[in-house]
Structure 1
Amino acid sequence: MRFKTLLAVSAAPFILAACATAPAYDVADAGSAEVAATDTAEPAELTSLIDEVAIPHEKFTLENGLDVIVHTDRKAPIVGVAVWYNVGSKDEPQGQTGFAHLFEHLMFNGSENAPEDYFQYLQEMGATDYNGTTNFDRTNYFQTVPTAALERALWLESDRMGYLLGAVTQEKLDNQRGVVQNEKRQGDNQPGGLVFYEIIDTLFPAPHPYDHSPIGSMADLDAASMEDVRNWFRDKYGPNNATLVLAGDVSASEGRQLAEKYFGAIERGPVNEPAQAEITELAAPVRTVMRDQVAATNISKYWTAPGITDRELTALTVGAQILGGLSSSRLDNALVRDEQLAVGVSGGNFAFQRVGILNVGATAKPGVETEVLEARLDALIAQFIADGPTEDEVRRAATTTVAQTIRGLEQVGGFGGKAVTLASGEVLADDPGFFAQQLETLATLTPGEVQAAMQRWMTRPAMTLVLEPGERDSEYEEAASVEAEAASDETAAAEEITVTKTRPAPPIASSADLDFPDVQHATLANGMTLHYAMRDAVPATYVTMSFDAGSAADPVAKRGLETLTLSLFDEGTTTRTSQELAEAKERLGANISLGGGEDRSTFTLSALSANLVPSLELMSDVVRNPAFDPAEIERVRTQQVTGVQQELRTPASIAARTLTPLIYGENNPYGGAASGSVESLQGITRVDIVTFKQRWIRPDNGEVFVVSDRPLAEIVGALNTVFGDWDAPAVAKGEKSFPAMPAKPEEARIVLVNRPNSPQSYILGGQITPVDARDETYVDFLNANNALGGNFLARLNMNLRETKGWSYGVRGAPQTNENAVAYRVSAPVQADRTGDALAELIRETGEFLDTRGVTEAELTRIVAAQIGELPGQFETSGAVLSAMQNNALYGRPDNYYELLSDRYRAQTGASLDAAARAAIDPDRFVWVIVGDAEKVEPQLESLGLDVEVVQSAPTAN
């Protein structure tokens, strides 16, 4: 289960923006025939875009009070199922903080008729996008299932709603208490991980309902008794306090019949009236300075604001976007581009049911005094409040939001699809169609409204929080007893699970096979191959230009070159400044993302199809005409260096940077961090950047992938119009070189990286495998790993999380590249169990590869899950686009994913064991541990492995 705060940006204050000032140089010396792009079509009107957003639905209420909402979407044989309970952390009484979130965990641990871990049943159904979350205002559970498994999903959800308590034991409570406490440690262990607590303590002092984080306090979690838990369930989780949403391949009449069948007999419970909460106001400005392992000083300002149903909240959100959230924001233009006082800015309004929190912030450029940046930030905020936004700014912010909404509604389930949209409106605003009201507000919002809202709310006293680099000066909270006492064997035996035998699980009909979109191919006028698939669920087009480069194209001494170069493509072209680029994207509702990974460099356009041609013209300008202005190179270089310095303070990044060269070799193209080092970035010149573009980003080194609701002929015509005259430069194409991999160590070893005062240790183990992703046995290796480390039910996670309660989550997974496949195990664990946890990882892996291979039960579950999940995996255009690129990268046929079902059905325990044992040597891992060496090193002595202690060096390269 995932605990999500709505203040993720604020809780992780280091944010880098990537924008540039007006270019002073062009790249005519790059040798390619570039053309200046001109807009030939006007963006569609905002009102016409909003007219395309609709989620037709029917709502009805069962006699027991359960609200049911059904939306029919027949694009795929899947249904998004969401159950939202009208209870969150704001409803917790004093002394019971964290209960809503703790119960979210417990409700995955089995019910009276489904006593096993719920993830087992979800995998048997072939569910995708399944999880549960808790925030201040609600608890929700969701899964997307094949239509054939819909009845099983509803049986499962109804069983935990109406038949849970007989399955809740002291052992389960103790275990999930430990898991939640490790989830809290994991968040607290991140740089800036204690900031969120300070924010809510200041803005919502006790006894305000929002005065504590949804994850709760260690002390209250320690104190939670079985009686407390049972009373909490009885009071909060009745059907009349819940909403069920079905979105997908189901009709309203079918939904009504199934809801009655599975939920109708559940008795009503007490009604939870959501806690009322005033919008607090500080008596005077508050300024708080905190220190933590961050690379640069962040200054953030916070004001309380109204809740989600208030029109002013939308106005404040738009205002915050214009001020610091958009790529073209006022703060970005002034502080990052023009005055270069900051490496990043932020702005947003985080909305809860009763209140909101408005946030504006900036991260200082190294060497800039805090006082200077803070004074300038205050002045710009005051100026914006006094002057207000322009009409164009308001429309750009609104169009950006509408475009994001349109893209998100392609999905029926998951974290942000149609089911969530309808459920959140019903539970938090008493209107499943609330999204339409919010869009209408966006369409009609005026600059005057935005200015008035900001004058009202942002002129009140603010909280200013300064987070400075340094040793953490705040104490993280620890549990009274780090390891919860497990129930004795006698107690556990006495805790028999009640089974309501009148509720047998309905059968799962045979699932529909995956119907992957037909992929068509064409050759563009510039010689590039086009791979095209049609998806018409939403009026959007996705275009990826993929070039055979990636971070593997970096010279070893200049690692980070590809990342730096890609970052500069949209930081100003020969025809537009970076601000003009940002504004043009916002007017169009378009997004151009640059990235790709180790093997490919990609430019991906996400466009509203109504604005396809001008969006492609913008993409062409970015790809073909980057200015690479020397001043912008220095500014973006500073941002990337600051990002590297932040990686050197973050546990997972420290571990990865330490392990990668040890297993690949320092001189291998995969042997370093894609972002580079401080030293390598300082050595990169403009000539290096221009040369990278000449050699790698060129039409004879790339291919194009498109998923669109528009026909192939229209796509080909548009691409030829915009890119048809793009010629390759005269210089030679780039070539990569992959030396032989270093030999694995003769025996396992440990590298302990000292990070003092860490409440958790981060364990990362790895080794190179002989696996080739192009080989047909690759999927055997993947499914073997699904038994060992690849998903929630895998042995490593079930051991350290669900049995021991020492971790929030453990994963083992292949790191698959075109020319190498590594295997890595990651495990954040509580500090005092580091040695024990590593011993378990070593034992569990060794036994799996030696004497305890894949069991028949694991094989049955894994194969059923993999086959059942296929239709749900490719619900969105983005997923199809990614799959098409993977097929091209690994030389697979277009229908590769349709062939997988037969491959899975042919798998045996022996075939999976053989694949795993051929790939992984349990005795030759390199284990990296990032943690407090003083606490951890003594725990490692009994393992009998060589231990090298490395002192953490945040300023290292």
Structure 2
Amino acid sequence: MTMLFRTSVLAASIALMGAGGLAQAAPAAKPSTKVDIAIPDIPYTKFVLKNGLTLLVHEDHKTPVVAVNTWYHVGSKNEKVGKTGFAHLFEHLMFGGSENFKQATYINALERIGATSLNGTTNNDRTNYFQNVPTSMLDYALFAESDRMGHLLGVVDQKKLDLQRGVVQNEKRQGENQPYGVAYQILTENTYPVGHPYSWTVIGSMKDLDAASMADVQEWFKTNYGPNNTTLVLAGDITPEQAREKVEKYFGEIPAGPPLAKHAAWIAKRTGTHRTTVQDRVPQSRLYRVWNVPGAHTASEPLLDLGAYVLGGGKTSRFYKRLVYKDQLATSATASNDSNEIAGQFDVTLTARPGVEMSKLESAAAEEMRALMKSGPTVAEVELARTAILARFTRIVERVGGFGGKSDLLASCTTYTGNPHCYKDYLKAIKAATPAQIKQAMNEWLSDGDYNLEVQPFPTTLTTTAKFDRSNAPALGKAESLKLPPMQSATLSNGLKVVLAERHDAPVVNFSMMVDSGYASDPADMPGLASLSLRMLQEGTPTRSSLKIGEEFEALGANFSARTNLDGAFVQMDALKATMPKALEVYSDIVLHPAFAQNELDRLRKDQLAAIQREKTNPNAMATRVIPSLIYGKGHAYSLPMSGSGTEAAVARIARNDLVNYHRTWFKPNNATLLVVGDTTLAEITPLLEKNFGGWKAGDVPKKNVVEVQQPAKTVVYLMDRPGSQQSVIYGVQLAPPRNSPDEVQLGVVNNIFGGSFSSRINMNLREDKHWSYGVRSFMPAAVGQRLYVSQSPVQTDKTKESLKELVREYADVAGGRPITAAELSDAQANETLALPGSFETASQLSGAYSTILQYKLPDDYYNKYTGTVTAMTPAQANALAARTIMPGKLVWVVVGDMSKVEAGIRDMQLGEVRKIDVDGNPVQ
């Protein structure tokens, strides 16, 4: 099946004329007289069935053939991010037979009855299936077409899905394997903003195609392939009465699909000039130059179509005369205006003649384009273009079906405008267009905002004057200090602090509402409340259901999440610049007006209880659920399970009113900061935020019980039995200074050496040297107050005692027994600094860094100075810090494993008092 990318028949015809050309080498002469071509008329009769199917009938009895042309108003723009390529994949599935039309392939079956012009295509906006059949075979064709509309799912199984997925993927490979095949995806992804319905290719990504599931098939079919989303055209040797009777018979019993939303126009006009270069195995350089312009059925479309034809539509065009014929800089130079339903693109494509520098060709083409836009086309040029377009439409009426025939034109106009004769309005505009109007349209849309993709030949041979010496690797570069955008501040009328970091390289804006709460705000008798409250934010407001919120965010191209850490709650949205105002309306509604619906609470409470049960069977989670209470003591705000999930008893009794009170208590503008990162300014965003958050009322906020505690006085070993464990998980735990302590950066480097990287001491010992573990590590979870310093070592059961012995030695060594060397410090400094810039590539990453600064009250230039702080460390400083921070004699050890196999060995070590506890941290006799 063919996959096509243009909605407009006209756009396709212009492109074909521009690319194909004539056999003559000389440019055509100017016409001596004006050619008056009448606008074609394609009579039709229209019916709408009770199930919503639109039927158009056009009579043409010159041959005993009927064109059957079925258009579904669904294309790639109706897909969701992460499920791209599905419209086209589904088109292929429609050719595999149906429940009652039990044929291996639709095409073979229709070919056997004499069908011609038989195919199906998918583009951004629609999927169509068409065939011309002998009049005597019309019933058979209608039966087949209706059966796959109404009775497909019963025969679509995993085998068929896998088969057609493979076919489509090979189609994608085949397309990309062609010369210049790399261009299409690059152009698509770079000319429209992220989230725009045209920002992914029609054929989709390999990853998304691999992920397509049977559930996707069923949802797509049920949603988009109903008769109410379909236009069926029968054109040829048939009367309207006959057509209606047959279509009612075969299609009338098919139930309508669900109501569908329609995409509004979204031109996404660009500003500035952007350029990309790519290499491909091609013999000639090629330049694609693209502008985003209005789409089909707009006032601009016919004017830009005419301008494109004058500029590069054929051998009479300015490009051909100058670039191909006269100067011989190019083997091809074309222009086209490609119109889709909600937007269009004006394209210039220049293929350099071998040996010609692209810069020279590009410059000459730009001269021609500037000249045309400055003076406008001549009357003669417009007349040539007008004649070519009208002639193309005149030829359409020769054919009843196929791609670009009468049935196709009627179906296209009906699908997109509801008016089967919309082409007449287009052609009237073509006939009425003046040179001045064309000039104005070109200047309005083509003066700015071009994207340039240059495809350069990939070198097939390489000659050098000397052999490169590869005996020594190049010297390593130095770490560069960051220069992140500064944080700007504003305060709304209600006291909400707004912090903005501008980043304008992508039209994306990230919002993070930071509320000073977190797991530490849980009531002592209700651990898990904060976590459940934040999850419930996503589940609806008084005016938006949970599903509606998801649909609205998807429609706006926005991503939403809500999460909690130890000290804070974060409600985050990543929005497109273009849809930001509407996205903020949904976002603020979620933040300020959670419904906490009882049915959603019942569902999520069950989920959270199930999660707790899973934690109690996972050896790592078993330990991290009890470690905080062992270190901070029960009753401390930090004594809760590290996951924040709470306890089964507490979560089971959380009621809706508890959620309401939690939100009312902690979610106040004077207890929050809104961090905004991305493509906006304070002047732009502040009024929008005032509009959406200004009514939020301030109020008193309670204090959290984050008090300082003492380090353990001595070593204690806690044992948690997990019968049958193939590994033991050993945790070593102590307290460390808060996240914003003066030497926090340097402590991170020390931890890198001890257990914070693959090349750390404890990992190289237990994994690389002893092979007792797949990997061990140490880390410090961030906290406003004292942090935990944790080592985590999953080791094979029969080496539990030996591993614990090695860990005890490693702790003593890093605290002074085996000082950190200059080489170790140098490696850690490189590890900490060289990888840093890659952590700030996206607005979301930058938002995460700045939220860390704000939550833990770090200096504004923390990350900008980070590299300098790290590289300034000396071994003496590192060893002094390790000696005063790491306390080998006051560690709390937690070992989770099969105690029948490891307990005796651990006790034999006599590290300190040994206590057995259960999964809730309670003593076990």
TM-score (norm 1): 0.50
**Map of 2:879 onto structure 1:** 913
Q: CA 1:611 to 1:360, structure 2 compared with 1: closer, same or farther past 3 Å?
A: same
Q: CA 1:694 to 1:907, structure 2 compared with 1: closer, same or farther past 3 Å?
A: same
**Map of 1:698 onto structure 2:** 668
Letter in 2 for 1:601: A
CA apart distance, 1:511: 4.1
Quick check: 1:515–1:871 contact (8 Å CA) kept in 2?
no
- 1:397 & 1:912 partners in 2: Cα distance? 62
CA apart distance, 1:745: 4.0
What is the SS of the residue equivalent to 1:948? Answer: strand
Query: What CA deviation, in whole Å up to 9, does each residue of 1:835-857 have, x standing for no partner?
Result: 21111111111111122121010
Quick check: 1:593–1:605 contact (8 Å CA) kept in 2?
yes
Quick check: 2:811–2:886 contact (8 Å CA) kept in 1?
no
Q: What does 1:584-603 align with in structure 2 at a 5 Å threshold? A: 584-603=552-571
Letter in 2 for 1:592: F
Letter in 1 for 2:697: D
What is the SS of the residue equivalent to 1:610? Answer: coil
Query: What CA deviation, in whole Å up to 9, does each residue of 1:90-122 have, x standing for no partner?
Result: xxxxxxxxxxxxxxxxxxxxxxxxxxxxxxxxx
Q: CA 1:535 to 1:355, structure 2 compared with 1: closer, same or farther past 3 Å?
A: closer
Deviates more, 1:306-315 or 1:533-542: 306-315
What is the SS of the residue equivalent to 1:896? Answer: coil
Is it true that 1:869 corresponds to 2:839 in the alignment? no
CA apart distance, 1:726: 2.2
What is the SS of the residue equivalent to 2:757? Answer: coil
Give the alignment partner of residue 686 of structure 1, picking from 634, 643, 656: 656
Is it true that 1:536 corresponds to 2:515 in the alignment? no
Quick check: 2:509–2:575 contact (8 Å CA) kept in 1?
yes
Q: What does 1:510-529 align with in structure 2 at a 5 Å threshold? A: 510-529=478-497
Q: What does 1:483-882 align with in structure 2 at a 5 Å threshold? A: 502-673=470-641, 674-728=644-698, 732-741=700-709, 743-746=711-714, 748-769=715-736, 771-882=737-848
Letter in 2 for 1:766: V
- 1:583 & 1:753 partners in 2: Cα distance? 45
Letter in 2 for 1:710: T
CA apart distance, 1:656: 0.4
Quick check: 1:307–1:351 contact (8 Å CA) kept in 2?
no
- 1:934 & 1:742 partners in 2: Cα distance? 33
What is the SS of the residue equivalent to 2:660? Answer: helix
CA apart distance, 1:905: 3.0
Query: What CA deviation, in whole Å up to 9, does each residue of 1:203-250 have, x standing for no partner?
Result: xxxxxxxxxxxxxxxxxxxxxxxxxxxxxxxxxxxxxxxxxxxxxxxx
- 1:396 & 1:726 partners in 2: Cα distance? 32
CA apart distance, 1:591: 1.6
Letter in 2 for 1:568: M
- 1:547 & 1:889 partners in 2: Cα distance? 9
Any unmatched runs of 5+ in structure 2?
Answer: 1-74, 82-154, 173-203, 230-256, 269-275, 282-287, 289-338, 344-467
What is the SS of the residue equivalent to 2:562? Answer: strand
Q: CA 1:636 to 1:606, structure 2 compared with 1: closer, same or farther past 3 Å?
A: same
**Map of 2:359 onto structure 1:** none
- 1:302 & 1:735 partners in 2: Cα distance? 60
CA apart distance, 1:398: 12
- 2:219 & 2:208 partners in 1: Cα distance? 30
Q: What does 1:427-446 align with in structure 2 at a 5 Å threshold? A: none
**Map of 2:162 onto structure 1:** 305
What is the SS of the residue equivalent to 2:525? Answer: helix
Higher RCO (CA-CA < 8 Å; seq separation 6+): 1
Letter in 1 for 2:613: Q
- 1:645 & 1:303 partners in 2: Cα distance? 39
Letter in 2 for 1:892: L
Letter in 2 for 1:947: V
CA apart distance, 1:956: 13
**In terms of Rg, which structure is larger?**
2
What is the SS of the residue equivalent to 1:714? Answer: helix
- 1:384 & 1:879 partners in 2: Cα distance? 34
Q: CA 1:353 to 1:955, structure 2 compared with 1: closer, same or farther past 3 Å?
A: farther
Quick check: 1:396–1:583 contact (8 Å CA) kept in 2?
no
- 1:354 & 1:607 partners in 2: Cα distance? 25
CA apart distance, 1:50: 11
**Map of 1:928 onto structure 2:** 894
CA apart distance, 1:356: 6.8
Q: CA 1:303 to 1:830, structure 2 compared with 1: closer, same or farther past 3 Å?
A: farther
- 1:924 & 1:398 partners in 2: Cα distance? 64
Any unmatched runs of 5+ in structure 1?
Answer: 1-44, 52-283, 287-300, 316-348, 362-380, 404-417, 427-432, 434-439, 445-499
CA apart distance, 1:393: 9.4
- 1:521 & 1:902 partners in 2: Cα distance? 26
Q: CA 1:503 to 1:48, structure 2 compared with 1: closer, same or farther past 3 Å?
A: farther
Quick check: 2:732–2:894 contact (8 Å CA) kept in 1?
yes
Deviates more, 1:947-956 or 1:852-861: 947-956
- 2:659 & 2:515 partners in 1: Cα distance? 16
CA apart distance, 1:394: 12
CA apart distance, 1:397: 14
- 2:791 & 2:828 partners in 1: Cα distance? 20
Query: How many percent identity over aligned positions?
Result: 31
CA apart distance, 1:817: 0.2
CA apart distance, 1:720: 1.9
CA apart distance, 1:743: 4.7
Is it true that 1:942 corresponds to 2:925 in the alignment? no
- 1:718 & 1:924 partners in 2: Cα distance? 53
- 2:548 & 2:636 partners in 1: Cα distance? 39
Give the alignment partner of residue 888 of structure 1, picking from 854, 857, 878: 854
- 2:676 & 2:793 partners in 1: Cα distance? 37
- 1:527 & 1:584 partners in 2: Cα distance? 29
CA apart distance, 1:542: 0.2
C-alpha RMSD of matched pairs (Å): 4.4
CA apart distance, 1:387: 7.2
Quick check: 2:520–2:566 contact (8 Å CA) kept in 1?
yes
- 1:646 & 1:443 partners in 2: Cα distance? 48
Q: CA 1:956 to 1:840, structure 2 compared with 1: closer, same or farther past 3 Å?
A: closer
- 2:580 & 2:550 partners in 1: Cα distance? 17
Query: What CA deviation, in whole Å up to 9, does each residue of 1:882-939 have, x standing for no partner?
Result: 1211212232222121122332232111211121222221122112122222222233
Quick check: 2:515–2:671 contact (8 Å CA) kept in 1?
yes
The number of residues matched between the two structures is 525
- 2:544 & 2:208 partners in 1: Cα distance? 41
What is the SS of the residue equivalent to 1:559? Answer: coil
Quick check: 2:734–2:790 contact (8 Å CA) kept in 1?
yes
Quick check: 1:772–1:820 contact (8 Å CA) kept in 2?
yes
Q: CA 1:570 to 1:393, structure 2 compared with 1: closer, same or farther past 3 Å?
A: farther
Letter in 2 for 1:718: L
- 1:904 & 1:46 partners in 2: Cα distance? 49
Query: What CA deviation, in whole Å up to 9, does each residue of 1:25-72 have, x standing for no partner?
Result: xxxxxxxxxxxxxxxxxxxx9869999xxxxxxxxxxxxxxxxxxxxx
CA apart distance, 1:951: 5.2
Q: CA 1:681 to 1:891, structure 2 compared with 1: closer, same or farther past 3 Å?
A: same
Quick check: 2:537–2:591 contact (8 Å CA) kept in 1?
yes
CA apart distance, 1:644: 1.1
